[in-house]
Amino acid sequence: MPRNSPVDDDRALLRRHGLQVTAQRLAVLRAVTGRPHSTADDIDTIVRAEIGAISHQTVYDALAALTDKGLVRRIQPAGSPGRYEDRVGDNHHHLICRTCSRMVDVDCAVGDTPCLTAADDSGYEVDEAEVIYWGRCPECVAATAAASGERVTRSVSHQPSTTTLDTEHPTRRTTRHPYEKAKQENDRRV
């Protein structure tokens, strides 16, 4: 039995979700699959290179339709345009480089999922958490070190944060990195 082509699979996927199959939607879906975490502008550029003339609005409409049907996920990092990916249906997180804006997927912690256990869920049934880790990617760390003449070593020691109840607001928690906690204790002594 011959295997379906990726285009046939994409057509069937759109139909299964009640979407009309159009060249524009197929091209947008392929662009998101081929370049996860792309912005609408990035996807617009990719689709134009593939199929030629397409309006920016048509790309936005296709992204909205694919997102509404759960075929695509929209991520909106703080201070950044929305980004799109086709990894849906799992509770994964993202890591973003502050220097180059590169975004990668990070699987949720194995076992107990603390990100889905809110300190106070206010009666909500929590089924998803959007966690975004910010930092610098290995390439940007290396580039910064090379520019300053430093030797790159990968011996970063990550300390767990401490989470405590905020005494002024009992339902709110405050999280402090151990360095901040030590600095605060040192400032109190002075």
Which of 58, 64, 131 lies closest to 92, judged by CA? 131
How confident is the model over 7-29, as a mean pLDDT?
Answer: 94
Same domain, residue pair 61 and 21? yes
**Token pair of 146, please?**
């090379």
Tell whether the model's pLDDT for residue 138 goes beyond 80: yes
Is residue 84, in this structure, part of any structural domain at all?
Answer: no
- 131 vs 102, residue with greater confidence: 102
CATH of residue 118's domain is: 3.30.1490.190
Same domain, residue pair 166 and 142? no
Is residue 85, in this structure, part of any structural domain at all?
Answer: no
Q: What's the structural domain count of the chain? A: 3
Lowest-pLDDT range of 62-66, 89-93, 133-137: 89-93
Question: With a threshold of 0.85, does the pTM exceed it?
Answer: no
Same domain, residue pair 17 and 42? yes
pLDDT confidence tier of residue 178, bands split at 50, 70 and 90? very low
Say if CB 28 and CB 71 are below 8 A apart: no
Q: How many CA atoms lie less than 13 Å away from 136 in the CB half-sphere?
A: 11
Q: Tell me the pLDDT tens digit for each residue of 24-56.
A: 999 999 999 999 999 999 999 999 999 998 999
Same domain, residue pair 179 and 135? no
Is residue 23, in this structure, part of any structural domain at all?
Answer: yes
